[in-house]
Chain A
Amino acid sequence: MKKDEAPSYIVDLALRRGATDAVANLHDRQHIMIRFSNNEVTISKFYDESTVDIFLMIKRRRAATTIPFSSTRSLEKTVEKLIKIARMTPPSELYAPLPEGPFSYDPKLLRGSKVSLNPDRLVGYVEEAINAALKEGAKKVAGTLNAVVERNVLATSGNVHASQERGALDISVRAFTSEISSGHFVSVSGDEDRFDPSEAGRIAGEIAAAASNPKPGEPGRFTALLGPLVFADLISQVGILSSAFLVDIGQSFLADKVGSQVACEKLSLIDDPTVAGSYGARAFDDEGVPTRRNVIIERGVLKGYLHNSMTAKKYGVETTGNAGLISPHPWNLIVEPGEKSFEDLLAEIDRGIYVTNDWYLRYQNYRTGDFSTIPRDGIFLIRGGSIESSVRELRISDNMLRILRNIRDLSRTRRWIRWWEVEVPTLTPYAVIDDLNFTKSTM
């Protein structure tokens, strides 16, 4: 059996063995990651994997697996075992048959861009980023470069037989001018043409240089200017927690809020994997449903959750093309731009704090949205519309819904963000938040 025929073979076999519905998704993935620190390469890695996700239902009884692609016999044994497990599994709350195809897909989304996996070329990108940061005054530079080429072949019992390809590049650069002065930036692209490691290095270096000699910050409520890395972290939380599955298990502050004003009118958030050439673009989801542009928040109003066919049935709506066979999730988040430049936003803040990055976001209560996260890299005091000085050791301790409602303005400039802390690619502007609560260690 040819590799590409395996998904259809698995689905047919599962149906013959008694499954009412079945999905098989073959993933071929080659991924190079180069990690660097102290201006040199820490380790460079090549991942070569071929796996198969199999999901089947016997009405309300469901079972799923992920296994390495191997021989026909091994795949057959896995299907037999999965059927046995499904029969033993107590019934779920609902039965939703898999969406019925065949579907038509946007051909532009089926073809992946060409991304080179040549180690010398990729090490060259790393050198470019390091040198750009050093040129801005950085003493040491660290980061990660990823180059990915992948392809998946999907078959479902809903008459889906399709394949899509994807190529992507990203680099995350953190530059240091001292142990406590740093800057961070990224370049994220669905193709090599728009990939700009030098710019990522340059911006990281600029922030690090500006952040020199930070003084301990003071806690309190401030107008905050959030850079794209921070705002992407917060906004990707909104996107991720709009999954109907997470809403159901209590892991979302968006529960019971569809139709409500959850944010300032200036905020519109869309999950849009149909933008060809963007990092998170894709033609179909894990059930074979064509992806689409889903408005999550429109002018501050929560329009709906992200669904697969199972959660959609529970909520009495149509799937949004965001399967995840168990939990739906966003693919490619986009915040609509504002009208002002970064300089305009800065100029309008009399007394505030500019935060360029954050990490380690944890909730006190997902349902209420109470959380804290730690600004890192450049943090700057704003006085009279200008950056006055660099500060450190502050924490944002606030509530997600309060922050969304307190958005004062957004910039027209946007950046694609994805890195260690922000998993879902997110196109985001700078944001001004009124009355953001900052805390610090008491001793």
Chain B
Amino acid sequence: MEDLIELAVNYAESLGAKYAEARFQRDIQETVILKNGFPEAAVLEEKKGISVRVLVDGALGFASTDGLTRRDVKAASSRAFKMARASARIMHEKVSMDDSSLGNVKVEVKQRIGFDSIDIESRTSLLKEAYKRAVEEATERNVKVPACSMTIDTWMTEKLVASSDGAYVYSLIPRAAFSMLMTAFHPQKGSVQRFFDLGGSGGWEIVERWRLPSLIEKEAETLSEILLSAGKSPSGKTDVILGPELVGLICHESSGHPGEADRILGREAAQAGETYLNRDSIGLRVGSRLVNVVDDPTLDGSFGFYLYDDEGVKARKRTLIKEGVINEFLHNRETASVFGVKSNGSARASAFDREPIVRMANTYLEPGDYSVEELLEDVKEGVYIRNFMEWNIDDRRFNQRYVGLEAYRILNGEIKERIRNPVLEVTTTGLWSSVDAVGRDLEFQAAYCGKGDPLQGIPVWTGGPHVRLREVILGG
């Protein structure tokens, strides 16, 4: 493969490209699906090929091929070159790459328990056990589970990235993921649903750590209780405590996305949108002094793990919001060049046939000093929102809505009865400015972040501690 990558870069340069980068990527994925207790088809997918990205007269061209012969690769280089050259005629601001130092390394994440050692039957049995316990748990409460789909995915991502200015990075990262959509139903109470993802990098040991049967049994119990006993949510001004699952999502949506430099430049304007931030927003206060949001691809075992990005730049922790102030944007080499800074290693591509664009990895709110009990004890009347179902945010990343699923009323510092679907519909600055205490706990959950065109779904973690918001207005 090294030969083909070298050929792709050299051939593009020989055609006249000022910059050329080639990436081989192979993703081998195995999926088992359990639908309402019965297995669907086991799915094995292999996606592999080479992409070439070139810079010609200040325009970027990209071509991919799943043919792995010298002829296919030269054709890809040639097509990328022609695409860039054709586009150059309507370029006003010429694209360039920053002068980041580039890696020449090999990164390999080891599996303690190899995926190969866990056959399809064992994977399906694990899901069946989880489903059985969920149904039993709900049935004990006279609640039905009319629909439940569960999926386990395991996959290996192998990449080799090389560029004309010296990057040469090989990586092999195994990942495992679980997702579930469960419906709980009661003839008089209606239905509630829960969807969530789990994920990490490593071997099957990740899946074992999740203890899926117990976890899903607990989810069924909680859903049943919500259905049977949750009362009307209060609205109006109140204190709110958010659980880590929601805090992580908020960090991702209203801190990570707005700080993506390609959005700031308008590159996603017709798709995922722009941002309320602009090039001069570094130093802008958007939240209270307790708010520190970071994005760190280097977290061991994380779903968004990588040590070098897909342009060959070394990954590092990025502090997006420091003490409530915008501190750093996410950059690839292209945007870094425009902003006059160095790339902070945020270029990711979801597959061989996708170009690297600015992405998050593991975005979270850094923990503070409070225990959950301490967060609660100072709340006279309030609401605790542990997780969510519905959410969205506008394409400038400023107006967002989160609808709680597992949620409770707080009275005099104690968690009281369940409430149903509290709505937090607020602006980004309104939300972060109302943070008055941050927990010392820290939890992560997995998600697939969607961006780019064609859409690139990439694995990320989102996370944080429990957080207290003072005097926010519930309801939307």
Contacts and interface: CB of A to CB of B under 8 A. Distances in A.
A171 to B, nearest CB: 10
Interface string B381-399: 0000000011111111011
Contacts of B193: 250, 363, 365-367
Contacts of B389: 363-365
A153 B37 CA distance: 34
A37 B38 contact: no
Contacts of B45: 65-67
Contact of A248 (B35, B190, B400): B35
A157 interface: no
A371 B473 CA distance: 20
A62 B425 contact: no
B114 interface: no
B270 A144 contact: yes
Interface in A117-153: 119-120, 122-123, 126-127, 130, 140, 142-144
A430 to B, nearest CB: 22
Given A63-B42, A443-B427, A45 B63 contact: yes
A63 B401 contact: no
Interface stretch (A79-87, A187-195, A290-298): A79-87
B395 A443 contact: no
A50 B66 contact: yes
19 contacts: A40-B92, A43-B62, A46-B79, A62-B42, A63-B43, A82-B44, A89-B32, A142-B269, A144-B453, A245-B35, A249-B35, A255-B147, A326-B33, A363-B389, A364-B403, A364-B421, A365-B192, A367-B193, A439-B476
A40 B93 CA distance: 8
B83 A88 contact: no
Interface string B450-476: 000111000000000000000011111
Given A43-B61, A397-B476, A248 B147 contact: yes
Interface in B418-454: 421, 423, 425-427, 430, 434, 453-454
Contact of A127 (B68, B90, B421, B474): B90
Contacts, number: 285
A33 interface: yes
B141 interface: no
Interface in A225-253: 245, 248-251
B453 A35 contact: yes
Given A49-B64, A89-B32, A126-B90, 12 more contacts: A67-B46, A89-B39, A93-B38, A119-B87, A120-B86, A140-B266, A142-B269, A249-B148, A250-B146, A364-B403, A439-B425, A443-B430
A435 to B, nearest CB: 17
Interface in B184-208: 185, 190-193
A64 B427 CA distance: 45
Contacts of B39: 89-92
Nearest to A127: B90
B190 A397 contact: no
B84 interface: yes
Nearest to A66: B45
Interface string A37-68: 11111111111111100010000001111111
Which of the four size classes fits the interface of chain B?
35 or more
Interface string B285-311: 000000000000000000000000000
A52 B388 CA distance: 39
B476 A440 contact: yes
Interface stretch (B119-127, B129-137, B153-161): B119-127
Interface in A389-440: 393, 395, 397, 420, 439-440
Contact of A249 (B64, B89, B149, B391): B149
B90 A51 contact: no
Contact of B394 (A49, A370, A374): A374
B41 A64 contact: yes
Contacts of A39: 90, 92
Interface string B339-373: 00000000000000101000000000000000000
A377 to B, nearest CB: 9
Nearest to B424: A442
A212 interface: no
B417 interface: no
Nearest to B32: A89
Interface stretch (A161-169, A261-269, A329-337, A354-362): A354-362
A333 to B, nearest CB: 20
Interface of B: 32-33, 35-36, 38-49, 59-68, 72, 75-76, 79-80, 82-87, 89-93, 119-121, 124-125, 128, 146-149, 181-183, 185, 190-193, 265-274, 353, 355, 389-396, 398-401, 403, 421, 423, 425-427, 430, 434, 453-455, 472-476
Given A44-B86, A395-B399, A395-B401, A49 B270 contact: no
Interface of A: 32-35, 37-51, 55, 62-70, 81-82, 85-86, 88-93, 119-120, 122-123, 126-127, 130, 140, 142-144, 172-174, 176, 179-180, 184, 219, 245, 248-251, 255, 325-326, 359-368, 370-374, 376, 393, 395, 397, 420, 439-443
A89 B269 contact: no
Contacts of B68: 70
B426 A443 contact: yes
B120 A85 contact: yes
A4 B104 CA distance: 42
Contact of A68 (B41, B49, B84, B400): B49
Contacts of A140: 266, 269
Contacts of B119: 88
A188 to B, nearest CB: 15
Contacts of A364: 389-390, 403, 421
Given A174-B270, A374-B399, A441-B427, A48 B63 contact: yes
B80 to A, nearest CB: 7
A336 B361 CA distance: 45
A243 to B, nearest CB: 13
Contacts of A420: 270-272, 453, 455
